[in-house]
Structure 1
Amino acid sequence: MTIEVDSSRHEDGTGKSGFGARFALILIALLWASQLNGLMGLMSGNAQSQIAIHYHTTQIAWFSQIGLLIGVATTPFTAKLAGMYGKKRVLATITALGLVGDFVAAFSTNYETLLVGRAISGFYGPSVALVYALARDVFPRRLVGPANGLLGGGMGLLALGGPFLSGWILDDFGYRGILWFMTIATGISLLALLTLVPESPVREERTPLDWTGGILLGCGVASVIYGVGEGSGWGWTSGRTLAFIGCGLLAVLAFLVVESRVSHPIFPISLLGRRRVWSTFMVTGLITGATFGQGMILNLLVLMPNIPGLSDGLGWSATKNAWVGAPASILILATSVATGFLARRVDTRILLATGGALMVLSTLLMSQFHYGVGQLMAIGVATALGMGLIMALVPIMIIESVSPKEQAMGNGAQNIMTGVTQGVLTQVAFALVAHDSNVMKGTAFYVDDSYSMSYLTFAGILAVATVLVALIPKTKHLDEVEVGQAATATAAV
């Protein structure tokens, strides 16, 4: 079979302004796939305490961490294979692996088997990068911006419904219900991908796989994340912490040397030699990592108990927190969709800087006003506007920065960058709030000054990231880049 692509690729030929039934179904399937990882993370985080008590383990951190490490380590190979053999094909394959892992975890009878299942499901980690890359190819030009905006804004749907859904399942069915829901949700995603989403015709040349480079990059980055994640427990100057971080950095440096010498690198270093690419990766990775990192502070603030002289948390239930955050979640979704349309007419650098500035403002306000429902809901407006802009713009700016053949690789690289910054900055956030904590019966409780200082620190990080937007050079506008290939492709057998 050969694929011939209409070189004009301006519209899908329908002349319609909406998505239409066909593209709407494709969008729903991709939206489900793009948000599955986030939903699993939210649910597993809520289930951790029950699992730790049931299995009497002090190593509960591995329940969420092992999947993250596998996902980061496999991202280079997943992105390369997707470029060579098809984005849909590889996305369906890693979804199937995730389903196998979910089944193992759901049927597990001991903690070790549960971790094996979680590790296998970690192969699904790079899925978001493939979803955004596939969206570029299956939608016509006029729908690429709105589609990516909605995919990014799906986080708003997740933030809105996820806490309520998770609380209901956990309260009525326990942690085992969470594990089975993960299995069912992954199965639905796999079925939707196979039946609704077309394959992209965009292919890289099939070349020998660079195993050495992929292992060095994946394991190096995973080692850094693991070392930082254990740093607060081991001690930041302990031999183990320094060994994991140091060896990980050495592996990344070795990766750069290997990639400059092999004939068919798993990641073209020349891609990072382009200012538009490296600056976009750096800025979006930093601003996204800081946005999610400061979100961890909020979770601790609202869910930790309020005990005078011991703990200055708000003591809310997860359900109350879900209700208070619901309006902001809706606003995130609406902002993301609107951003998808705005990106067709407005310089995305301006939109990203606006989103960053809003996050700086909201984080500064949170440092001083975080004592009640009214304050958090009011500040949540600025937070939602900023997050909606940022989440929608990240995939769009990658599209503007790379060619269609580089899309999967570009999304994979940005996925790794965001994973590293988010992992590191989340640990920074935890270290900040724990600095002056009170420990009673083995449990740490946090004080108001630590919450305030944490927010001020993250406001500074977000401010730096926003200023760095100026490093990103102007490039093709979203309406000028090459997109919508599968939408207008014709196949000849």
Structure 2
Amino acid sequence: MGARFALIALALMWPTQLLSLAGLLGGNAQASVALHFRTTEIGWFILVNALVATVITPFVVKAADFYGKRNVMIAITLLGLVGDIVAALATSYGMLLVGRGIAGFYGPIAALAYASVRELFPPKHVGAASGLIGSGIAFVALGGPFLTGWVIDSFGFRGVMWSLATATAIGLLLLLTVVPETPHRAERTKVNWLGGALLGGGAAALTYGIGKGGEWGWTDARTLAFMLGGVAAVLLYVVTDVKAAHPLFDLTMMSRRSVWTVMLATALISATVFGTGVISQLLVLFPKIPGVSDGLGMTATHYAIIGIPASILILAVGFGTGVALRKVDARLPLGLGAALAAVGFLLQRQWHYGDTQLMLLGTVSAIALGLIVSSVPVLIIEAVTPDAQATANGLQGMIQGVFTTVITQLVYVILAKNSTVYQGTRFYHDVAFKNAMLLGAGLALLGLLAAALIPRLKRAQDIEPETAVAAS
């Protein structure tokens, strides 16, 4: 890969992996936020951001088709920066959630970045570039915890919010100065606003209903109304979008086995590993209070130190997988990653009480993550035609977003079943963490079954691409 292409790949890696950094920093800041604002609803600190990203993804992808991927990436990065600043200045939990919601506009950037690779790189470099961008999560995993540790231990959660604002500003600068505009444009047409409202409202209602199920009861009329209403709204979205003259997504592509199996497997497996990340964050960073909380009470810096081996493994495995995918069937690392993720959950369910256990068993999950993040973008490239790349990435991101918010909410519900509210803050017992890890293992195995349904696909470098515009 030439120097110019490498620079573009690195420039796309930064804003894309900022999503991972935001998830890591935000997740590690949860304990500090909960204790500062004395809230029992800390789950919404993560969920509101994910929900907004899910709601706006179809509109962002459509705008990228009309106005260009780079232009839209710049716009949503700017909105993300505004949201980060509002969150950093928040004087109440409500204001903090508003800022986190605005920052959610940044969420679809990964779909646009991966889709840009198809247009900016020659065919022989598409797989490697996608793998490089995906494996960049390792740099986040390696440096992010130390940044989090230093910032939280020194400046509290507000330091985290300002760190995110700074990182977002750097991503905006890279997009403005390094990344060229992509040539593909679609004819400007009307937008199916009704379909988008149904999709977003349905996802939000379903997530809210799941969150309240443990409090209201799973057979309570209010719980059922939100959950069933949410599912009905999503189904109505599908109906309206299929029939619309100008749909948000070309859902007809989902009629092909090669597409729907890739969408299902990649979204479920990715959502499982990312949506369950809050388990370890709450376990490690919440305090140890006999009879009240079974957290390990570590500092964020200590948590970063014991995570060094895992971070290095994510980097090595992610990079190695990206290179190997030139010759290896991308289904294999995805399936292996799902299987190892399940094993990692089951092992950590039994042993998660000290530094040595967390360090050793965390390597299993790290290998799984490296395999998954490198293979997902390549599978999407292989499943669809070049002109459908942005739509496919956006659709996968939307499905993954819905899965992630639902899984994350399920984790909080399971944790809350064995918890204690003390001085306005909810604390969790050991059995709660064990049950949540069991959920993660089950979901990873479901993802493995979904991966087994994917048919053999044509390799990325063998697919006729759009002409690369970054060539000198």
User: 1:314-363 CA distances to partner (integer Å, 9 max, x unpaired)?
Assistant: 33222211111111111111111111111111111122111122222222
> Are residue 222 (structure 1) and residue 204 (structure 2) matched?
yes
Amino acid paired to 1:151: I
Closer, same or farther in 2 for the Cα pair 1:472/1:183, shift >3 Å? same
Closer, same or farther in 2 for the Cα pair 1:151/1:347, shift >3 Å? same
State whether residues 53 and 108 of structure 2, in contact with CA within 8 Å, keep that contact through their aligned partners in structure 1.
yes
Q: 1 CA distance for matches of 2:369 and 2:100?
A: 29
Provide the residue aligned with 2:273 in structure 1: 291
C-alpha displacement at 1:459, in angstroms? Answer: 2.0
- Bigger Rg over Cα: 1
Q: 2 CA distance for matches of 1:261 and 1:445?
A: 48
Any residues of structure 2 matched to 1:323-402 within 5 Å, and which? Answer: 323-402=305-384
> Are residue 481 (structure 1) and residue 453 (structure 2) matched?
no
Provide the residue aligned with 1:178 in structure 2: 160
Any residues of structure 2 matched to 1:295-334 within 5 Å, and which? Answer: 295-307=277-289, 311-334=293-316
Provide the residue aligned with 1:244 in structure 2: 226
How many residue pairs get aligned? The number is 472
Report which stretch shifted further, 407-416 or 373-382. Answer: 373-382
Amino acid paired to 1:331: L
Q: 1 CA distance for matches of 2:38 and 2:433?
A: 30
C-alpha displacement at 1:131, in angstroms? Answer: 1.2
Closer, same or farther in 2 for the Cα pair 1:120/1:294, shift >3 Å? closer
User: 1:150-200 CA distances to partner (integer Å, 9 max, x unpaired)?
Assistant: 222222221221121122223333443333332222222111101100111
Provide the residue aligned with 1:27 in structure 2: 9
> Are residue 194 (structure 1) and residue 188 (structure 2) matched?
no
> Are residue 124 (structure 1) and residue 102 (structure 2) matched?
no
> Are residue 260 (structure 1) and residue 235 (structure 2) matched?
no
C-alpha displacement at 1:488, in angstroms? Answer: 6.2
TM-score scaled by length of structure 1 = 0.87
Closer, same or farther in 2 for the Cα pair 1:176/1:66, shift >3 Å? same
C-alpha displacement at 1:74, in angstroms? Answer: 0.7
Report which stretch shifted further, 242-251 or 413-422. Answer: 242-251
State whether residues 216 and 252 of structure 1, in contact with CA within 8 Å, keep that contact through their aligned partners in structure 2.
yes
C-alpha displacement at 1:233, in angstroms? Answer: 4.1
Amino acid paired to 1:265: P
Report which stretch shifted further, 310-319 or 199-208. Answer: 310-319
Provide the residue aligned with 1:168 in structure 2: 150
Q: 2 CA distance for matches of 1:108 and 1:39?
A: 20
> Are residue 279 (structure 1) and residue 222 (structure 2) matched?
no
State whether residues 199 and 486 of structure 1, in contact with CA within 8 Å, keep that contact through their aligned partners in structure 2.
no
Closer, same or farther in 2 for the Cα pair 1:458/1:80, shift >3 Å? same
Q: 2 CA distance for matches of 1:189 and 1:440?
A: 40
Classify the secondary structure of the residue corresponding to 1:314. Answer: coil
Closer, same or farther in 2 for the Cα pair 1:312/1:65, shift >3 Å? closer
Q: 1 CA distance for matches of 2:166 and 2:450?
A: 42
C-alpha displacement at 1:126, in angstroms? Answer: 1.0
TM-score scaled by length of structure 2 = 0.91
5+ long unaligned stretches in structure 1: 1-18
Q: 1 CA distance for matches of 2:224 and 2:352?
A: 36
Provide the residue aligned with 2:18 in structure 1: 36
Closer, same or farther in 2 for the Cα pair 1:51/1:385, shift >3 Å? closer
Classify the secondary structure of the residue corresponding to 1:486. Answer: coil
Q: 2 CA distance for matches of 1:440 and 1:96?
A: 39
Provide the residue aligned with 2:57 in structure 1: 75
Report which stretch shifted further, 228-237 or 369-378. Answer: 228-237
C-alpha displacement at 1:401, in angstroms? Answer: 0.7
State whether residues 204 and 405 of structure 1, in contact with CA within 8 Å, keep that contact through their aligned partners in structure 2.
no
Q: Percent identity?
A: 49
C-alpha displacement at 1:78, in angstroms? Answer: 0.6
Amino acid paired to 1:274: R
1:269 corresponds, among 248, 251, 257, to: 251
State whether residues 62 and 115 of structure 1, in contact with CA within 8 Å, keep that contact through their aligned partners in structure 2.
yes
User: 1:286-311 CA distances to partner (integer Å, 9 max, x unpaired)?
Assistant: 11222224433222332344455654
Amino acid paired to 1:321: Y
Provide the residue aligned with 1:144 in structure 2: 126
1:100 corresponds, among 82, 95, 103, to: 82
Closer, same or farther in 2 for the Cα pair 1:224/1:163, shift >3 Å? same
Closer, same or farther in 2 for the Cα pair 1:214/1:198, shift >3 Å? same
C-alpha displacement at 1:476, in angstroms? Answer: 0.9
Classify the secondary structure of the residue corresponding to 1:485. Answer: coil
